[in-house]
Every structure is written in structure tokens, then in C-alpha cells.
Amino acid sequence: MGVVTDIRSGRPSERVEGAMAYAKAGRGGSRHVSLFWRIFSLNAAGLVVATALLLGPVTVSTPVLAGEAVVLLGGLALLLAGNALVLRFGLVPLQRLDRAMATADLLRPGSRPVVAGPAETAGLITTYNTMLDRLEAERATGAARALSAQESERHRIARELHDEVGQTLTAVLLQLKRVADRAPEDLREDVGQAQEATRAGLDEIRRIARRLRPGVLEELGLASALRSLAAEFTTHGLTVRHHVTGDLPALTPESELVVYRVAQEGLTNTARHAAADRAELRLRPVPGGVELLVRDNGTGLGTAPEGAGITGMRERALLVGAALTVEPAPGRGTDVRLRIPVTEGSRRTEGSRRTEGPR
């Protein structure tokens, strides 16, 4: 699987540049006054007015007269109200930044606090947004490398299972057949049971190898691979219906692998944890891309935290700039929805994939 590092096509850098320009404008004083100067100017104005009144004809009697008390208390109230308003509006961007920092999730990228407020606040928010962009890019790069190594290891293990363990079990099965032909009548039943156990183990090895390395995806394309996956998960207790339209836009090999792995993980979660008897696998075109839907009628997620399976799906989705949502299905059950954008530069026709043959 290829390594995809820029998962948002350069848009964060443009956003950061705009934010930096905003912050610089604020620090230069051409558009915004800093929080320090706002509070200082308000307090200075109050003190200047108070000093002017004391140096002028206004005096304070002892004891203070009612009219003088009203003037003093009114001035104090205005000064306090002005300070409260300046601090209230000046700290609102910091409160938004605090909420954004508390809810930040690198597996759900794109959410950023708006750069606003005084120059110091705007600079702080800009720095935070820049740091978050860098963290998301580094996480995407690391996840891409890890998943690429994981796919390579899957291929190696699948090849060894098929070439080494599979051939060994095939040889054992043939040897057992020769033993069964020469065995006495009272031992043939035991040898037959050994043959069946060996044959079941060989089938299980082949099934594991197919799940580790989806050869049908490379040889026949995504639509056939998803149909095969639905048939594989259809067991006595679970029925998986599939609907894959034929007019899908072409996807890159990385995107096809992400779609296949998300569908595989979604059906695995359904079979193991959902207690469902029906599941649905859909792949259809949507404006600007394609959408995968894995739906079941099981017990749903409830209040349980997301496990390693869903986290792995989110990391895979980030590699190709896709959006993954896991939410309750209509009625009951769970919907796993993956939406992958398709760009003209990354398109690859399904026909060219089939003519290339297996890689």
C-alpha cells in the first residue's frame, strides 16, 4: 500500500497562512487593539477623569453629600462595567480555544477554532492551529507507514501459509489417503477422521490466507472483492446482502484497499459482537466520490467506547482523506459509513486494472 502523507491536499497550510496574516495585522495595530491596551486605556480614562474632577471645582464634603455619593458610585459602576465588557469580549476567543483543545481528536481532523480576538489571543489560536495541523500530518504519515508495513506483513504471512503450511497439509492429506487404502478395516474409520480433520485445517488455512491477502481485489477488482466478502461472511446465523453498483468512479489502489479493509472490519465486528442475523453491504457513487455502507440489525454500539477495530478503520480512512462515521442505524443496529473523495488526478479505470493482471 502506498504512503499518503498529505491527507487534506494542502488546505491546512492555506488556512494557517491566513491565520498568520490575521495575527500579524492584530499585532501591528492596523485592525485590532491588543487586550492589554484595551484594559489599560479604559482604566487610564477613568483615572484621568477622576483626577480632572479632583483638580477642578468639584469637591467631596465631609460627610459625603447624597449628590456627591451618587456621582462617585456612578463613576465606579461605569468603570467596573467597562472593565467587565472588555474582559468579557476579550476572553471569549480563549474560551472557544479551551473547548477546542478539550475536544480535539486527531482521528477526526479538520475542526479548528476560529482565529479572532485581540492580537495576543489571535496569535495563540494561530499557534494552536499550526501545531494541530502538524500533529495530524505527522500522525497520518506514521499511520501510513505502519499500515503499509502491516499490509506487507499480511502478504508475507499469507504467502507462507499458502506455500508452506498449505502444501504440508496437502502432502499429509495425500499420505493419509494412501494409508487409508492399505489400512485394515477396523482402522479405516480412524484414518478417515484424521483425513477430515486435515482437510478442515487445510480449508481454514486457505480461508485465513484469503483474508490476509485479498487476491480477488488485485485480480478482479473492488466490486468482485466485496461480493466475495459478503459471501464469505454469510453463515448459518448471519445473512449478508450486497449491493455494488456498476457505474462506480475509478479509485486508486490505496483507496480500494481502504474500502475493502473497512468493509472487512465492519462485517467482522457484526459477526463477532453485534448479535445480528442480517447485514447489508453497499457501495455506491455519491457527488465527488463513493460511499461504502455496512449496516446490521444488531444490538448497536450503546455506550461502549470505540475499540481497536473502529480506531483502525478511522486511521485507514485518514490515509486517503476519507470521512468515516459510526452511528446507530435506522430502527436498530449500527451503520458504518465511509465516504472517499475522488479526484481527476487519482482516477484509474477498472478496465486497466483487469488488463494488468495480478501484481
Query: pLDDT at position 61, please?
Result: 66
User: What percentage of the chain reaches a pLDDT higher than 70?
Assistant: 78
Name the pLDDT band for 33 (thresholds 50, 70, 90). low
Distance of CA 255 to the CA centre of its chain: 15
- Each residue of 259-292: pLDDT tens digit? 988 998 899 888 888 888 899 999 999 888 899 9
This prediction has a pTM of: 0.56
Query: pLDDT at position 115, please?
Result: 81
Better-scored residue on pLDDT, 358 or 334: 334
Better-scored residue on pLDDT, 323 or 351: 323
Instruction: Show the CA angle centred on residue 148, arms to residues 143 and 152, nearest 5°.
Output: 150
Query: pLDDT at position 60, please?
Result: 63
**Is residue 342 predicted with pLDDT exceeding 70?**
yes
The answer to whether the CB of 8 falls within 8 A of the CB of 110 is yes
Name the pLDDT band for 15 (thresholds 50, 70, 90). very low
- Each residue of 113-165: pLDDT tens digit? 878 777 777 788 888 888 888 887 777 777 667 777 777 777 788 777 767 78
Q: What is the largest CA-CA distance in the chain?
A: 130
Better-scored residue on pLDDT, 53 or 149: 149
**Is residue 329 predicted with pLDDT exceeding 90?**
no
Q: What count of other Cβ atoms lies within 10 Å of the Cβ of residue 67?
A: 9
**Is residue 358 predicted with pLDDT exceeding 70?**
no
Query: pLDDT at position 54, please?
Result: 64
Better-scored residue on pLDDT, 170 or 72: 170
User: What percentage of the chain reaches a pLDDT higher than 90?
Assistant: 7
Query: pLDDT at position 26, please?
Result: 43
Query: pLDDT at position 353, please?
Result: 43
Query: pLDDT at position 295, please?
Result: 92
Q: CA-CA distance, 54 to 287, in Å (whole number)? A: 72
Q: What is the mean pLDDT of the chain?
A: 76
**Is residue 258 predicted with pLDDT exceeding 80?**
yes
